[in-house]
Amino acid sequence: MIEGDILDNNTSNNTAARNTRGGRNIRNTCNMHDICNAHNENNGKKAVSARFLFELFITFFKIGSFTLGGGYAMLPLIEREVVHNKGWIDANEIVDYLAVCQSIPGAIAINTATFIGKKTAGKKGAIFASLGVILPSFLVITITAAFFSSIKDYPLVKAAFLGMHASSAALIAMAAIRIARSCIRDSFGLAIAIIAIIAVVFLKIHAIFTIIAGAAAGLVVYLFFPGKAGKILSGTSNVTNNENNNE
Amino acid sequence: MINMIKVYLTLLLIFFKIGLFSFGGGYAMIPMIQREIESQGWLTTQEFVDVIVIAEMTPGPIAINSATFVGFKVAGVPGGVFATLGVSLPSIILVMFVSRFFFKYENHPIKEAIFYGVRPAITGLIFSAAITVAGTALFRTNPLDLVGKNVSSILEVIKPGSIIISIIALFLLARKKVHPIVVIMLSGIMGILLYHVLPSVGVNIFI
């Protein structure tokens, strides 16, 4: 909503405002020009640069090519590429998007790619990011289906995949540890995380219920423990404060 | 020709339905895909099992992999295109709507409060994913299923080669900060070494 106001001003204003608001986005010396363009598109006012869309596509093509297993297996790559290398979003945001993407129907990988694409470059970004994550799968499977009667007949390929699967547990665990550093801030968070692990791994409860339970716990704290809630909200991110200052 | 178009449209619609009604990603889709395939008489059970094995093994989200594969088996490359489109479209459309709503309330205190509880839950889910993947990738039978059972040797339970690869991967990631893609490629090479090259010269201790 604030970006809409900003856009009514001139472009240099817009750039300055993005600088304040998106301090964390730009932190990683990602291309300023691209980010401005991207966010103009977010408001449907200006075209996003073709170069940025291509970059988005290539990034998600890379992520799709090396995602082995379910939706969470792409997390280590998103974390490295989108959060760390490109600085398009930060670690907390990626977790928020994951939560939403896990809670709505569809493949988590496509949901997440679309979400990040939408955030960084509007509707076009959403399309390019999702195409990027879909295409490697499509190509690999079409080639596999066309030329391999059964992957079991190719022991070399099978051995390579066995090795890759062995490392994917390590990859997801490392991503989980890094995510935990930014997402678990107190004993309350730690308790929720441990309950979620027990619920999903041992009690086989569907992931969506742990998310709903987490949301409910957050709401309860907000509604019934105003002191604690004040701390949460002031400590969430300085971006929120920046935004308020802008207003 | 008309028949082919009918098959393409059926693929599109069926996978659209699967994409729209499956919560929790690719693994949740498998039973739905199976039911639809059986009711259409498209693949035999054995063929379907092959599809799932390959969808899990090859890179890419399982949802897209299995959709592309089933589409290809049923109606060639165009079949693959239509099935893939079908399974992806609900995601793209839904996320467009949901994200607009999400970004609108991105800094609302209630949203922050909700996600204060949701973020640790998601962190737990990611750890759970790591545990689940480790359970199938590093162990012959899921260790959770073995509770209370007699195991004569640890080698009956673990895959030594995979454990070695995962430890090396963990070291490269945590200590050397190697890029995940490089780690995945290296572990593929180690997989070839431990599961193909060494067994072929008679060294079977890693299998």
> Where do the structural domains in chain B lie, given as residue ranges?
2-104, 109-200
Q: What is the pLDDT at residue A6?
A: 37
Cα of B127 vs its chain's centroid, Å: 16
Record the tokens describing residue A202, joined without a space.
């041992």
Question: Which helix (DSSP H) or strand (DSSP E) does residue B33 occupy?
Answer: helix B26-40
Q: Give B179's contacts in chain A (Cβ within 8 Å).
A: 80
Decide if pLDDT at A238 tops 50: no
Q: Using CA atoms, how far apart are residues A51 and A95, in angstroms rounded to an integer? A: 27
B94, B127, B195, best to mutate vs chain A, most A CBs in 10 Å: B127
pLDDT digits (tens, 9 = 90+) for A130-161: 999 999 999 999 988 887 666 666 788 888 88
Q: What is the pLDDT of residue A20?
A: 36
Structure tokens at A111: 């949901």
- Closest Cβ opposite residue B166 in set A141, A167, A206: A167
Which candidate from B112, B126, B188 shows the least CB-CB separation from A176? B126
Rounded average pLDDT over B67-78: 92
Give me B103's structure tokens: 């970004």
Q: Do A134 and B64 touch (CB under 8 A)?
A: yes
pLDDT of residue B84: 95
Is the predicted pLDDT of residue B94 greater than 90, yes or no? Answer: yes
Report the pLDDT value the prediction gives residue B24, as an integer from 0 to 100. 67
Residue A37 reports pLDDT greater than 50: no
- Give pLDDT, residue B109: 85
pLDDT at B38: 85
| Confidence class for position A32, pLDDT limits 50, 70, 90 | very low
Closest chain B residue to the Cα of A123, Cα to Cα: B96
Cα distance from B61 to chain A (closest Cα, Å)?
Answer: 6
Answer yes or no: is pLDDT of A30 > 50: no
Rg (CA), chain A: 20
Helix, coil or strand: residue B187:
helix
CA distance A38 to A26: 13
Q: Which of A104, A140, A163 sits opposite B98 (nearest CB)?
A: A104
Q: Does B196 touch chain A (CB under 8 A)?
A: yes
Residue A26: is it exposed, middle or buried by C-beta count within 10 angstroms (0-12/13-18/19+)? middle
What is the per-residue pLDDT for B92?
93
pLDDT-wise least confident of A80-94, A202-216, B132-146, B168-182:
B132-146
Best of B66, B99, B183, B198 to substitute, by most chain A Cβ atoms within 10 angstroms, is B99
- With a CB cutoff of 8 Å and minimum separation 6, the contacts of A198 are none
Cβ contact, residue pair A164, B124, below 8 Å: no
pTM higher than 0.80 for the full model? no
Q: How far is A223 from chain B (nearest CA, A)?
A: 9
Start-end of H helices in chain A: 2-8, 11-21, 23-26, 32-42, 50-65, 75-78, 91-103, 108-147, 155-183, 187-197, 207-224, 226-235, 238-246
Give the model's pLDDT for residue B26: 67
- Average pLDDT over chain A, rounded to whole? 76
- Put simply, the answer to whether B124 touches A193 (Cβ < 8 Å) is yes
From chain A, the residues in CB contact with B121 under 8 A are: 99, 192-193, 196, 210-211, 213-215
Find all residues with CB under 8 Å of A166, minimum gap 6, and list them. B137, B138, B159, B161, B162, B163, B165, B166, B169, B187, B191
B165 touches chain A (CB under 8 A): yes
A154 class by beta-carbon count within 10 Å (0-12 exposed, 13-18 middle, 19+ buried): middle
Q: How confident is the model at residue B135 (pLDDT cuts 50, 70, 90)?
A: confident
What does residue A9 show for φ and ψ, rounded to 5 degrees?
-80, -175
Mean pLDDT of chain B: 86
CA pair distance B159, B152, nearest whole angstrom: 15
Q: How far is CA A23 from the centre of its chain?
A: 18
Q: Which residues pair with A101 in a beta bridge?
A: none
Between positions 85 and 114 of B, the ones with CB within 8 A of A are 87-88, 90-92, 94-96, 98-99, 102-104, 107, 109-110, 112-114
Q: HSE of B119 in the Cβ direction (CA atoms, 13 Å)?
A: 26
Name the least confident of A12-26, B28-42, B103-117, B124-138: A12-26
Contact predicate B91/A199, CB 8 Å: no
**What does the pLDDT read at residue A41?**
43
Query: How much is the average pLDDT of B20-35?
Result: 78
Mark yes or no for CB contact A172/B187 under 8 Å.
no
Could you say which of B56, B122, B167 has the minimum Cβ distance to residue A98?
B122
Query: Are A125 and A117 a contacting pair, CB within 8 Å?
Result: yes
DSSP annotation of A47: P
In B, which residues are within 8 Å of A218 by CB distance?
113-118
- Residue with the larger pLDDT of the pair B147 and A221: A221
Evaluate if residue A165 carries a pLDDT over 50: yes
Interface A-B: count of C-beta contacts within 8 A: 404
Closest CA to B133 of A94, A199, A173: A173
Residues 24-43 of B with CB under 8 A from A: 24-27, 29
Question: What whole-number percentage of chain A has pLDDT above 90?
Answer: 26
B22, pLDDT greater than 60 = yes
Angle at A179 between CA A173 and CA A183, to 5 degrees: 140
Beta-carbon contacts of residue B6 (< 8 Å; ≥ 6 apart):
none
Residues in chain B: 207
Q: Worst-scoring range by mean pLDDT, A96-100, A108-112, B78-82, B200-204?
A: B200-204
Distance CA A236, CA A245 (A): 16
Question: Average of pLDDT values for A232-239?
Answer: 54
The pLDDT confidence band at residue A104, using thresholds 50, 70 and 90, is confident
Output the DSSP codes for A85-109.
Answer: IS-SS-HHHHHHHHHHHHHSSS-HH
Q: Is B83 on the interface with A (CB under 8 A)?
A: no
Q: Is the pLDDT of residue A85 over 70?
A: yes
Question: b/e per residue, A184-201, with b = 16+ CB within 10 A?
Answer: bbeebbeebbebbbebbb
